[in-house]
Amino acid sequence: MAGDRRDSRRSPRVDALAGGPVLYPSGIREELVRLCETNAPTCVVYRAFDEMLTDRMVRDDLPEYWTEIERSGVDVLSVSIGAWGERMFGLDAALCDLAQWDQRFQEVPRLWRIEGPEDLHTTVRDSRTGILLGFQNSDQFEGDLGNVALLAQRGIRMVQLTYNGRNAAGSGCTERHDDGLTAFGRDLVREPNDVGVIVDVSHCGVRTSMDAIELSSRPVAVSHAGCAALCGHDRNKSDDLLRLLGERGGFFGVCAVPLFLCDDGQADVDDILRHIIHALEVAGTHAVGIGSDWGVPNTPPQLLERLQGSAACQGFRPEHRFEFTARTSRSKGARHDTITCRAPAAT
């Protein structure tokens, strides 16, 4: 996705679920390792990580971050927040993370908060890096629809209805039975529609996803996933869903997670291209982009061990073979001439 970010006439380049850049510079890395070795709770480790990153950004002492942004060519990163608190996906975690981002927006001139469509173009015109803040679950609302408007006022612009498991809104993709949206879930689709927050069904089960797309008065996103027709992982989306998403003006972001791209998990860039092309053919050219969702290869081993241990708690079962250390490799260069694209599906 590299490209010249200085051309103010072009369209903004957006990563719909940015897994990176995740950086562990000297000093930060050592402190995280130390905290892990003291058996500090994972939420404490991540809180310290965020605070150290904020401090470095404010002091303009994180050149690696901007170097990686430039290399990617991306103008807008959709960033998932509010996961690590005393409870996974709790309101306390959301508020703590929002406080960190508030400070960054106030004191780091290059960062720009994305609040509406016009802000996407501001990032290109002013050579800034846009940040769209979102949740990968709706548990942060703690069952109170009033919190949707409250958190929207604080800058949240995209919300997944569920993570992998079942919650008050509906069923996630790793649940063995999906009963669709609950009564609360139906209200939770309508409320974001009313306050300008994007509904995201990336981790939702099939029926819950379809219910949300059909009910929503505004286009729905699958910010980061793969195509089930190419890889049968539970996290991927069927052609029926892709087709409905395209018909309703929604968005599908193809991820870079190797286990979602091919059955053996040994994915490379050509596999990403195959998912992109398949999605274009089924959903239409207006509906498809990138939601990389992968940026953990340089994580300290002590923290990776904690992340891997949390996978089961987050709904991944052994058959999902979810591995935080897996990487999508560069293209081997042998398959480009076999990739073709048929005309997009009519919608």
Q: Is residue 236 included in any domain, yes or no?
A: yes
The whole-number pLDDT of residue 155 equals 97
| Domain CATH for 242 | 3.20.20.140
Short-list 296, 231, 286, 222, CA closest to 264:
231
**Cβ neighbours around 4 below 10 Å, total:** 7
Q: Is residue 266 included in any domain, yes or no?
A: yes
The whole-number pLDDT of residue 292 equals 94
Helix (H, G, I), strand (E, B) or coil at 112: strand
In which region does residue 101 sit, left (phi positive, over 0), alpha (psi from -120 to 50) or beta (all else)? alpha
Task: Note down the domain range covering 60.
Answer: 14-338
The whole-number pLDDT of residue 88 equals 83
Instruction: Tell me the average confidence (pLDDT) per consecutive run of 10 residues in the chain, 347 residues long.
Output: 60 92 90 94 92 96 93 95 86 95 97 95 95 97 96 97 96 94 97 96 98 98 98 96 98 94 90 97 97 80 80 68 74 51 43
Q: Is residue 133 included in any domain, yes or no?
A: yes
The whole-number pLDDT of residue 334 equals 46
The whole-number pLDDT of residue 338 equals 45
The whole-number pLDDT of residue 343 equals 44
- CA 187/CA 152 separation, integer angstroms: 16
Can you read off the two tokens belonging to residue 137? 């679950």
Q: Is residue 6 included in any domain, yes or no?
A: no
The whole-number pLDDT of residue 301 equals 87
Can you read off the two tokens belonging to residue 225? 């996933």
Q: Residue 77 in contact with residue 130, Cβ under 8 Å?
A: yes
Q: Residue 222 in contact with residue 251, Cβ under 8 Å?
A: yes
Total domain count for the chain? 1
| 125 CA to centre of own chain | 25
Q: Is residue 147 included in any domain, yes or no?
A: yes
Q: Is residue 179 included in any domain, yes or no?
A: yes
Q: Is residue 2 included in any domain, yes or no?
A: no
Sequence-distant (6+) residues with CB within 8 A of 25 are: 56, 62, 64
CA atoms within 13 A on the CB side of 273: 16
Can you read off the two tokens belonging to residue 24? 């562990």
Q: Which amino acid is at 119?
A: D
Residue 338, H or E segment: none
Q: Is residue 238 included in any domain, yes or no?
A: yes
List the beta bridge partners of residue 204: 172
The whole-number pLDDT of residue 92 equals 94
